Chain A
Amino acid sequence: MEFVTTIGIEIHVELNTKTKMFSGGPNVYGSLPNTNVNPIDMAFPGIMPVVNKKAVEYALKACKALNMSIDETLIFDRKNYFYPDLPKGYQITQQYHPIGSNGYVEINVDGVEKKIGIERLHMEEDTAKQLHYPDYTLINYNRCGVPLCEIVSKPDIHSGKEASLYVEALRSILLYLGISDCKMEEGSMRCDVNVSIAPKGSSKLGTKTEIKNLNSIANVMKAIDFEVERQKQLILTGGVVEQETRRFDEATKQTVLMRKKTGAVDYKYFTEPNIMPITLDHNWVNDIINNLPELPKQRKERYINKLGLSEYDASLLINNKELCEYFENVSSKSNNPKQSANWIIGNVSSILNKENISLSSLKFTSDDLSNLIIMVDKQEISTKQAKEIFDIMNNTGKKPSDIAKESNMVQISDDSSIKQWVKEVLESNPNAIEQYKAGKTNIMGFLVGQVIKKSLGKANPGLVSKIVKEELDK
C-alpha cells in the first residue's frame, strides 16, 4: 500500500527585542535566575499589560517577508489554562485575529521550486522556565513574557526533507530580518510538527501525532522520517495511529511517547479586556514593510547575477549569516567579490573549522583580509606570498602590509629586474631553449619556475611568464 504523508509545522520564534511583549522586563538570555523580571512578568495582582512597539514592528517585518496579508488592527485574546510556568493563569495571544495570515515561503526540493503555505503568524508571550529535579521543580521567570511569533504552516509539507527545508528557509529569512537569533539549541526558535499518513488517493487525512521539542533542523527530518515509518508499520500490521504527543530521542533516533492526547482542551478564549483594539498607523506600517533588509533570496540572486559568484559559493555564504556578513564587509572593501569568496570559503573557513573558533575569535579583521586581497590585485605581492602572509596574519594579528614589509615579501614587477633574471636563467639552460624551439613548449614552466626561484619567490609570476615567452620567441 502506498501512503501520502501530510505534515504541519508550528514554529515559535523568540523576538530579540530589548524588553518583553507586555512589560518593560529585560529580554536577555542566560542571566542569573529571576533577575530579568518586572512586576507584570510575575503576575502580581493588579498588574496590566502594555504592548511592546518593537515586537509589533518585528512581527510586521516577518509577515511581509513571508508574503502574508497583514491585519493592521491588533486584537489580543486570553488563552486560559493552569500551569506553573504561566503565572497569570492565562497567556495573552492572538487567537482570532492573527497579525498575519495566508502567506508562503519558497523552498527548493531537489531542483524543483515549491511554495509552502503559511496559515498564520501571531504574537504572544513566552512562559517561565521550569527546571525539573527528581522531587521538585524550580521556576525561573526571566523568560516569562518574552515576545513570541507563532508561525503555523498549511499542511503543504509531505516529507521530512521538505520539512527541514521549510524550517531552514523560515529560519534564514527571520535571521536576515534581524528579528531573532533563531537558535534552536537555545530555544529561541522552537519547532513542533504534526505528522499523519493516509493511503494514497484517500480524501481524508490520517490521525496526526505531534512531535515536540525538536532542537535542530536535522532532527526535524530524522524525527519525521522515523515517525512516518512507525505509523506505516503500525497500520500495515493492523494497528491504529492514536493521537499522541511524542518527542524525539536523539540517542536512539526514535520518536518516543510523551503523553496521549485525551481530547481537545477548552482554553475558553475571549478578548483580552486590558488591551483595546489598536489600529496601527498605516504610514508607520508601510514604512516598516517597505524597508526590509535584504533577504536571503534577493541576496543570493545578487551574488550570482551581480557579483558573479557560483551558485555553490553563493549558497554556502547565504546559509551562514555570520560568514555572509563577513563576506559583505570583505568584498565591499576589497571590491573583489570572487576572491573574497574564495578566501572566506577556503582559507578562513578551514581555520574556523580546524580550530573550532568563531569569526570573532580570529586575530585578524575583515579589513585586514580586504587589504590582503587589494595587495594581490595591485600586484604588490604574489598569490603565493599572500598565502604566506595570511598564515602569519592569522597567527599574529599583524597587518598584511606590515608583514609584507618585515618579511621583505614584496612582489617584484619591474621589467628590468625580471629581464635580468630571465637572461641569467636562459644562459644557464641553453638546452631548454633548443627543446622549446623543437616544440616542447611546456619547458617554459620549468624556466619560469627557475626565474621565480632565482628571485627568491618575489618575482611576479605573470610577468615572468610573459617575459620568458618573449625571450623564447625571439
Chain B
Amino acid sequence: MSYLDLPISKIHELLVNDKITYQDLIKEALEKAHKYQPTLNLFETIIDNPSFNGLDKSNPLFGIPYVLKDNFSTKGILTTGSSNILKDYVPVYDATVVEKLRNSGAILVGKTALDELALGGTGTNGHNGPVHNPYNLDRQSGGSSGGSVVAVSSGIVPFAIGSDTGDSTRKPAAFNGVVGFKPTWGLISRYGLFPFATSLDHVGIFTRNVLDCAYVFENLAGYDSKDMSSANTIKTQYSKNLDNSLKGKKIGIIKEINDSMSNSLVKDNMSGVISLIKNQGCEVKEFNVDERLLRAILPVYLVISCSEATSNDACLDGIRYGIREEGETYIKSIINTRTKGFSELVKRRFVIGSYCLKAENQEKLFIRAQKVRRLIVDTFNKIFEECDCVIFPASGDVAPLIKGASDDEKLSSKYLIGENHLAIANFGGFPSITIPSGFINEMPIGINITGKCFDDQKVLDIASGIENTLGLKDLVKEVK
C-alpha cells in the first residue's frame, strides 16, 4: 500500500488516526527513493536514517517525508550544490527552512540534484549528470530544481523544496504535472540557501495540489532575524483561508506572451483554460505589453543574475571547505580548484557576470539591466491595478529532450519571450504559482498564475480555483 502519492491532508488523517505511522512513511519514501534513483538520477544524497522531531500532531506536515534541493545548508549532511567544487562539503549549520520544517514535524529523507549551483534551467547540468523526467525518461526534468520536482511527480514524497531565481521551480513544475510555487520575495527566509542571484532568489515549493502547497508555505513563511530582506508579516493560515471561488475574479492575460508560445497546442490549452474560468465567473482581460520589454527579459535576467552570481560564488576557493587541488603557489591551488570544480556552463556565466560588472561596462550593462528591471516591474504593477492576477502558459512547449540540453543552455535569441517570461515574477518579487493544465503527447504542461507582492493568499486562492475547475491534481507518474 502506498501512501506518499496521496494528498497531505489524507496522509495526515491516516497518521492522526493511527492507521499508519511516520516510520511506515519513512520506509516507503526510502524504498521508492532507492528504487527510482538509478532511473531518474534525482538524488545527491538519500538519508537512510532520517531524524524526526515532531511535537505538534495537529500540524499537517507532522510525520511527512520530504526532500530538499541540495543548495540548502543541512548541518551534518552533505550539501554539494550539485557542483564538484563542493562534492565533499558537510555544513556545520542549518538553513532556516530546514529548521522550520524540522519543527513542523516533517522528515527530511533526501537532498536532490540541481543544475550546478542553480545556474541552469534544464536539470542536466548537475555534476552527477541529468535528472530524468518520469513521464519520459529521455526528457528533461527541467531545472534548476530538477531532483526536487521529480521526487514529487514520481510519488516519492508529497512535497519538496526547491529554489527559484528565474523560473527554477515554476517551469519544472509544468514539465512534471505538479504544483510549483514561488512566494513573494522575502516571505520565506533565504538564510542557508546557497545564493545564486540574491535579488532574484526565492525558496520554492513543489506539491501535487494547491492545498498541500499552502500547508508547506504557512510552515515556512515568516520573519527571520538572520535574513535582512525578510518581510515582517503577520502569520497567516494560508490553508485555512484558501478560497477557491473564482466568481468575480479579474484575470489578466498578456497577448504578447501567449502569442509567443512555440507550440500551438500550448496556445490552445491556454485558450481552453480561459474559457473554462470564464464559465466560472472570471472576468478575463487582455493586456498589451511593449514587446521590447518582453524581449529584454532574458538579457536583463542574464546580466543581473550572472553578475550577482559571480560575486556570490567567489567564496568557493577550496581554502575553508570543498575540494582543494594542488598547486605550486596558493593562487595556482585556487585556480586549479576552481577550474576543476566548476562546469563549463557555470564558468561561462561567471565570465559574463564579471564582464558586466567591470567599471567601464557597468553603466551600459549591469545598471541598465537594473533600469529595465524597474520598467518591467512597473508595467506589471500597473497591470495588477486592474486585475487580481495574470495567467500565462508556464512554458511554450513540453519538457525538451535531454539530448541537446547543452544547446538549450547556450544563449540564443530563440523563443526569447515564451521561455523566459516567468522571470518577471523574480524581477518584481511577485508571488507566482504553476499548476498542471493538461498534456501534450502525454507530457504535462502547466499554466502560471502571478500576482502582486504580498498577494500570496490571493494567488493561492485563484490557483486553487483554477485547479478545481480543471480537475488536474495529485498526478503521479510511477516509474517502472
Contacts and interface: CB of A to CB of B under 8 A. Distances in A.
Interface string B352-385: 0010011100100010000000000000000000
Contacts of A88: 314-315
A82 B228 contact: no
Given A44-B73, A90-B314, A268-B354, A39 B334 contact: no
A89 interface: yes
A20 to B, nearest CB: 14
Nearest to B321: A44
A3 interface: no
A137 B330 contact: yes
A266 B358 contact: yes
A48 B357 CA distance: 21
Contacts of A275: 228
How many of chain A's residues touch chain B, expressed as a range? Answer: 20 to 34
Q: Looking at chain B's contact residues, is the secondary structure mostly helix, strand, loop, or mixed?
A: loop
Contacts of A46: 71-73, 91, 95, 190-195
A84 B319 contact: yes
B144 interface: no
9 contacts: A44-B73, A46-B71, A50-B228, A87-B320, A266-B359, A268-B311, A268-B359, A273-B198, A274-B198
Contact of B229 (A45, A51, A82, A274): A274
Nearest to B353: A268
A403 B311 CA distance: 70
A43 interface: yes
A143 to B, nearest CB: 15
Interface in B15-60: none
A275 B226 CA distance: 11
Interface in B300-326: 307-308, 311, 313-317, 319-321
A308 B319 CA distance: 61
Interface string B63-102: 0000000011100000101000010010111010000000
A47 interface: yes
B136 interface: no
A88 B315 CA distance: 4
B320 A42 contact: yes
Contact of B315 (A49, A89, A273): A89
B225 interface: yes
Contact of B225 (A42, A45, A50): A50
B227 interface: yes
A75 to B, nearest CB: 13
A48 B190 contact: yes
B468 interface: no
The 7 closest A-B pairs by CB, nearest first: A89-B314, A273-B198, A268-B357, A45-B194, A46-B192, A43-B315, A273-B199
B394 to A, nearest CB: 26
Interface of A: 39, 42-51, 78, 80, 82, 84, 87-90, 137, 139, 266, 268, 270, 273-276
Nearest to A45: B194
Contacts of A270: 307, 311, 357, 362, 366
Contacts of A82: 314, 317, 334
B320 to A, nearest CB: 6
Contact of B311 (A44, A80, A137): A80
A49 B195 CA distance: 13
Given A44-B91, A82-B317, 9 more contacts: A43-B315, A45-B91, A47-B192, A48-B228, A50-B225, A50-B226, A87-B319, A268-B354, A270-B362
B265 to A, nearest CB: 39
Task: Give the most central of A39, A45, A90, A139: most B CB within 10 Å.
Answer: A45
B228 A276 contact: yes
Interface string B161-195: 00000000000000000000000000000111111
A83 B427 CA distance: 32
A150 to B, nearest CB: 20
Contacts of B81: 45
Task: Give the most central of A51, A90, A273, A275: most B CB within 10 Å.
Answer: A273
B358 A274 contact: no
B453 to A, nearest CB: 14
Contact of A84 (B311, B330, B366): B330
A266 B71 CA distance: 30
Contacts of B358: 266, 268
A137 B314 CA distance: 20
Contacts of B190: 46, 48
Contact of A87 (B79, B313, B315, B334): B315
B229 to A, nearest CB: 6
Interface in B399-423: none
B225 A89 contact: no
A44 B92 contact: yes
A276 B93 contact: no
A352 B358 CA distance: 57
A8 B197 CA distance: 38
A137 B194 CA distance: 28
A391 to B, nearest CB: 58
